[in-house]
Structure 1
Amino acid sequence: MRLKYLTLACVPTAGAVQYMHSKDFRISIDPDSGALLSITHPKDNASMSWISGPDNTPWQPLGSRWGLGYVDLGPLHRTFWDSPHVRVEDDRMSAAYTLDGLKVDVTRKLDQRGGSLDECYMFTNTGNESVTLNDAAAESIAIYTPFNDHYTSTEDVLENRAHAHVWANGGASSWVKLTRMGLRGPHLGLVLTEGSLAGYSIESRSVVTLSNTRGIFLLHPSIPVLEPGQSSRVCWSLFWHDDWEDFFEQGVQRSEQFVHVEASSWTAVVGETVDLTVSTRRGAAVSSEIVDLVPVQNKGVYTGSIKASKTGQQKVTLTVGNGVSKTNSSIFLNVVPDIDELIANRIKFITTKQQLSTDFSDQTKAGAYAVYDNQMEGIVTFDTSSDRNTGRERVGMGVLIARWLQSNSDPDVEESLRIYYDYVINKLQDATGYVHSWPIGSRTASLRLYNWPWVMQLHLQMAKLGNKVTTSHGNCTATPSQRLLDTVERFYMQDHANDYYPINVPIYEALTYFEESGDHKTVQRLLTLWTAHGKRIAEVGQNYPAAEVNYEQSIVAPAAIILLELYQYTTNEEWLDAAHGHFTRLEAFSGRQPDYRLHDIGIRHWDGYWFGKDRMWGDTFPHYWSTLTGIAMHYYANATGNDSYKTRAERILRGNLVLFTEEGRGYCAFLYPTTVDGRKGGYLDPYANDQDWALAHILALRGDE
Structure 2
Amino acid sequence: MNRHFLRKTGVFLLLSFISAALFAEETDFKLDINLHTGGVSELNIKNDIHNMNWLVRTDGIQYPWVKEHLAWGLGYFTITKGHETVKKEWNTPIEISADGMNATYREGDIRIQVNRVFKNNDLIEEYTFVNEGKEEVSLHDIGIYTPFNDNYPGAKECIDARANVQIWEGENAAYVNALRMGGAAPHLGLVLTKGAVKSYEIWERGRKKANSHYRGIFALNLPDTFLKPNESYSVAWTLFAHEGNEDFKRKLLERGGVLVSCDKYVYQKGETARMEVKSDFPLKNCKAQMNGSPVPVRKDNGKYVVETTLMHPGEVRLDFFYNGSKRTHADLLVVDNEMELLRKRVDFIRTHQQMNNAADPRYGAYMVYDNEGDSIYLNDTPNCNPVDRDEGAERVGMGVLLAKQYRLTKDETLKVSLLKYAKFLRERLQTKDYVTYSSVDQTNRNRGYNYMWVADFYFQMYQATGDKQFAVHGYETLQSMFRQFGYGFYAIGIPVKIGLESLEQAGMKKEYKKLLKDFEKTGEVFIQNGLDYPKFEVNYEQSIVAPAVQFLAQLYLVTKEQKYLDEIKRQMPVVEAFNGFQPSYHLNEVAIRHWDGHWFGKREMFGDTFPHYWSTITGAVYYYYALCTGDTSYQKRAENVVRNNLCLFFEDGKASCAYMYPYKIDGVKAQFYDPYANDQDWALVYYILVNKGI
TM-score by length of structure 1 reads 0.93
**Contact 2:147–2:217 (8 Å) recurs in 1:** yes
Q: Secondary structure at the match of 2:76?
A: strand
Report what 1:373 is aligned to: 370
**Please, which moves more after superposition, 180-189 or 286-295?**
286-295
Report what 2:118 is aligned to: 110
**Contact 1:514–1:522 (8 Å) recurs in 2:** yes
Q: Secondary structure at the match of 2:139?
A: coil
Report what 2:31 is aligned to: 27
Superposition deviation, residue 446 in structure 1 = 4.3
**Contact 1:20–1:89 (8 Å) recurs in 2:** no
> What is the distance in 2 between the residues matched to 1:428 and 1:9?
71
Superposition deviation, residue 281 in structure 1 = 2.4
Superposition deviation, residue 263 in structure 1 = 1.5
**Contact 1:6–1:85 (8 Å) recurs in 2:** no
**Contact 1:397–1:693 (8 Å) recurs in 2:** yes
Q: Residues 328-361 of structure 1, C-alpha deviation per residue, up to 9 Å, x if partnerless?
A: 111111111211111111111111111111423x
Equivalent of 2:71 in 65, 70, 90: 65
Equivalent of 1:588 in 570, 577, 580: 577
Q: Secondary structure at the match of 1:407?
A: helix
TM alignment of 1:32-111, pairs within 5 A: 32-53=36-57, 54=59, 56-74=62-80, 77-88=86-97, 93-111=101-119
> What is the distance in 2 between the residues matched to 1:30 and 1:670?
37
Report what 1:226 is aligned to: 227
**Contact 2:206–2:606 (8 Å) recurs in 1:** yes
**Please, which moves more after superposition, 2-11 or 683-692?**
2-11
Report what 2:263 is aligned to: 264
> What is the distance in 2 between the residues matched to 1:594 and 1:702?
22
Superposition deviation, residue 21 in structure 1 = 2.6
Report the residue type matching 1:376 in the other structure. Answer: G
Superposition deviation, residue 327 in structure 1 = 0.6
> What is the distance in 1 between the residues matched to 2:677 and 2:574?
30
Report the residue type matching 1:246 in the other structure. Answer: D
1:484 pairs with 2:474: yes
Superposition deviation, residue 294 in structure 1 = 2.2
TM-score by length of structure 2 reads 0.94
Report the residue type matching 1:35 in the other structure. Answer: G
> What is the distance in 1 between the residues matched to 2:8 and 2:159?
39
Report what 2:186 is aligned to: 186
Distance 1:76 1:293, change over 3 A: closer
Report what 1:159 is aligned to: 160
> What is the distance in 2 between the residues matched to 1:22 and 1:316?
42
Report the residue type matching 2:482 in the other structure. Answer: Y
Q: Secondary structure at the match of 1:313?
A: strand
> What is the distance in 2 between the residues matched to 1:174 and 1:367?
49
> What is the distance in 1 between the residues matched to 2:4 and 2:448?
58
Report what 1:673 is aligned to: 662
What is the number of equivalent residue pairs in this alignment? 675
Q: Residues 281-314 of structure 1, C-alpha deviation per residue, up to 9 Å, x if partnerless?
A: 23223331344332234x3x22332212111111
Query: In angstroms, what is the RMSD of aligned CA positions?
Result: 1.7
Q: Residues 448-482 of structure 1, C-alpha deviation per residue, up to 9 Å, x if partnerless?
A: 1011100011101111121437xxxxxxxxx1110
**Contact 2:145–2:220 (8 Å) recurs in 1:** yes
Report what 2:394 is aligned to: 393
Report the residue type matching 1:272 in the other structure. Answer: E
1:436 pairs with 2:437: yes
Q: Secondary structure at the match of 1:73?
A: strand
1:601 pairs with 2:590: yes
Superposition deviation, residue 412 in structure 1 = 2.8
> What is the distance in 2 between the residues matched to 1:310 and 1:504?
35
**Contact 1:288–1:316 (8 Å) recurs in 2:** yes
Q: Residues 488-515 of structure 1, C-alpha deviation per residue, up to 9 Å, x if partnerless?
A: 11111014x3111000111012222333
Q: Residues 370-424 of structure 1, C-alpha deviation per residue, up to 9 Å, x if partnerless?
A: 1010001111111461000001000111111111011213333321221111111
Q: Secondary structure at the match of 2:474?
A: helix
Report what 1:251 is aligned to: 252
Q: Secondary structure at the match of 1:368?
A: coil
> What is the distance in 2 between the residues matched to 1:57 and 1:175?
26
Report what 2:322 is aligned to: 320
> What is the distance in 1 between the residues matched to 2:167 and 2:172?
14
**Contact 1:31–1:86 (8 Å) recurs in 2:** no
**Contact 2:656–2:677 (8 Å) recurs in 1:** yes
Report what 1:204 is aligned to: 204
Superposition deviation, residue 276 in structure 1 = 2.4
Equivalent of 1:309 in 308, 311, 320: 311
Report the residue type matching 1:142 in the other structure. Answer: G
Superposition deviation, residue 128 in structure 1 = 2.0
> What is the distance in 2 between the residues matched to 1:699 and 1:16?
57
Report what 1:476 is aligned to: none
**Contact 2:128–2:234 (8 Å) recurs in 1:** yes
> What is the distance in 2 between the residues matched to 1:310 and 1:414?
34
Question: Unmatched 5+ residue regions in structure 1?
Answer: 135-139, 470-478
Q: Secondary structure at the match of 1:289?
A: strand
> What is the distance in 2 between the residues matched to 1:436 and 1:596?
35
Q: Secondary structure at the match of 1:318?
A: strand
> What is the distance in 2 between the residues matched to 1:546 and 1:641?
32
TM alignment of 1:148-547, pairs within 5 A: 148-168=149-169, 170-208=170-208, 209-255=210-256, 258-285=257-284, 286-290=286-290, 291-297=295-301, 299=302, 301-322=303-324, 326-360=325-359, 362-363=360-361, 365-381=362-378, 382-383=380-381, 385-439=386-440, 442=441, 444-468=443-467, 479-495=469-485, 497-547=486-536
Q: Secondary structure at the match of 1:173?
A: coil
> What is the distance in 1 between the residues matched to 2:666 and 2:289?
36
Report what 2:688 is aligned to: 699
> What is the distance in 2 between the residues matched to 1:245 and 1:543?
27
Q: Secondary structure at the match of 2:138?
A: coil
Report the residue type matching 1:120 in the other structure. Answer: E
Report what 1:610 is aligned to: 599
**Contact 2:659–2:671 (8 Å) recurs in 1:** yes
Superposition deviation, residue 56 in structure 1 = 4.4
**Please, which moves more after superposition, 264-273 or 116-125?**
264-273
Report the residue type matching 1:192 in the other structure. Answer: L
**Contact 1:86–1:93 (8 Å) recurs in 2:** no
**Contact 1:20–1:88 (8 Å) recurs in 2:** no
> What is the distance in 2 between the residues matched to 1:594 and 1:89?
41
Report the residue type matching 2:79 in the other structure. Answer: L
> What is the distance in 2 between the residues matched to 1:61 and 1:552?
25
Superposition deviation, residue 52 in structure 1 = 1.2
**Contact 1:403–1:700 (8 Å) recurs in 2:** no
Superposition deviation, residue 61 in structure 1 = 2.8
> What is the distance in 1 between the residues matched to 2:236 and 2:2?
26
> What is the distance in 1 between the residues matched to 2:683 and 2:322?
37
Q: Residues 231-261 of structure 1, C-alpha deviation per residue, up to 9 Å, x if partnerless?
A: 0101111001111111111111212xx2212
Report the residue type matching 1:80 in the other structure. Answer: E
**Contact 2:471–2:502 (8 Å) recurs in 1:** no
**Please, which moves more after superposition, 277-286 or 524-533?**
277-286
> What is the distance in 2 between the residues matched to 1:466 and 1:417?
11
Q: Residues 77-109 of structure 1, C-alpha deviation per residue, up to 9 Å, x if partnerless?
A: 11111111343356x721111111111111111
Q: Secondary structure at the match of 1:105?
A: strand
Report what 1:124 is aligned to: 130
Superposition deviation, residue 178 in structure 1 = 0.4
Q: Residues 15-42 of structure 1, C-alpha deviation per residue, up to 9 Å, x if partnerless?
A: 1111233231111011111000011113
Report the residue type matching 2:365 in the other structure. Answer: A
> What is the distance in 2 between the residues matched to 1:675 and 1:120?
24
